[in-house]
Structure 1
Amino acid sequence: MWAILSILVENKPGILFKVTHLFRSRNFNIDSISVGVTENPEYSKMTITTYGDEKQVEQIVKQLDKMIDTVKVEHLDEHKTVYRELSLFKIKLSNASDSMEINKLANAYGGKVHDVKKESIMVELTATPDQIQAFEELAKPFGIIDVARTGVAALQRSGA
């Protein structure tokens, strides 16, 4: 199962290492991670996505909750959460019609086109990881030169 973990931590040097070390020491893989300072500069929020069975995810949540620098750990329900990831794709252009097709594809996914050159085009896409994967599959035939992804940012819906 895919899991989204929201971890509120004290904003101190070394906390990212401690959290990632906990995952590594439990032989648990991090699918994506994003970290940022909250509205209170004393705290940062980490959003980590991972795969594991229910028991494994429950165990990692308990271990994270025991850490001294951890304030709050939540396993977010993806159906009650708004989550998005930012991605940038640099895609090869072989001819002028490729540019038009990639523009149509980007528009269909709510993407923005940047940096159009003779040999490449860049697309910015903010979407769910599944939508980004679907876009990537459709863009592959053109030739993907490079991809950069931020990791998931997530907030639980009000009343969830």
Structure 2
Amino acid sequence: MSQEEQQYTISVYTENNIGLLNRISAIFQRRHINIESINSSVSEIEGVSRFTIVVNLSEEHMKKIIGQIEKQVEVIKAYYHTDEETIYQESCIFKIKSELLFDEPQIQNIIKDSNARIVTVNKNFFVLEKSGRREEIELLYRELKPFGILQFTRSGRISVTKEPMEISKMLEAFNY
């Protein structure tokens, strides 16, 4: 990451159309920009989807990317924000051998100290869930790795802005 680059969270409000994710990711691919994470979900507006994309760029490049994203017909509006302007989380789940839960007292301390939550336990494995900042999830991963992780998956970032976004007012005018 060069001096002028920083991490941005992009929020893209869209109609829910097939193929749009490919076209949006192609905008980044053509410019050789790595997407750190991407999440797609419903938004606070009925019938409108939201992509949350995390990238490392200069603000100048960020503005160009937003312009390209907004040229997509199905895109209603795209915003970008710095980490300081957002409240964000990621989630992850771990699958670990059940015997460790009972045979390794340290595992229970790791779970408690990390504020992770046991989702399910059976005779073969247990599943832990953790939500938090990426650093917290990476720390928990490093602490559990020596015990053996059977499976691990992490979500993309989800975020809300600290300041209001005007998307709802804007869409009211279009009767969304």
Give the TM-score range, shorter chain. Answer: 0.7 to 0.9
Question: Mapping of 1:70-89 within 5 angstroms?
Answer: 70-89=75-94
- 1:111 alignment counterpart: 116
Call closer, same or farther: CA 1:76–1:43 in 2, change over 3 Å. Answer: same
Distance in 1, Cα, partners of 2:127 & 2:74 = 39
- Structure 1: 5+ residue runs without aligned partners? none
Task: Please give the root-mean-square deviation of Cα atoms over the aligned residues, in Å.
Answer: 2.2
Alpha-carbon distance between aligned partners in 1 of 2:22 and 2:145, rounded to the nearest angstrom: 34
TM-score of the pair, normalised by structure 1: 0.85
1:1-160 matches, cutoff 5 A: 1-92=6-97, 95=100, 96-98=102-104, 100-158=105-163
Kept in 1, the 8 Å contact 2:9–2:83? The answer is yes
Q: 1:4-43 CA distances to partner (integer Å, 9 max, x unpaired)? A: 1111112222221211122222221212111112233331
* 8 Å Cα contact 2:7-2:82 kept in structure 1: no
Pairs aligned (count): 159
Shift in alpha-carbon separation, 1:36–1:159, aligned structure 2, 3 A: closer
1:72-98 deviation digits (Å, cap 9, x = unpaired): 211112112111111101134664332
> What residue is the counterpart of 2:169 in the other structure?
none
* Bigger-Rg structure (1/2): 2
- Corresponding letter in the other structure for 1:67: Q
Q: Aligned partners of 1:159 and 1:20: how far apart in 2? A: 26
Shift, 1:57, TM fit: 2.8
User: Which consecutive unaligned segments of at least 5 residues does structure 2 have?
Assistant: 1-5, 166-176
- Which AA in structure 1 matches 2:8? A
1:159 is displaced (CA, Å) by 5.8
Amino acid at match of 1:5: I
CA distance in 2, matches of 1:133, 1:56: 29
Is the Cα–Cα contact under 8 Å of residues 87 and 132 in structure 1 kept in the other structure? yes
Residue 151 of structure 1 aligns to a residue whose secondary structure is coil
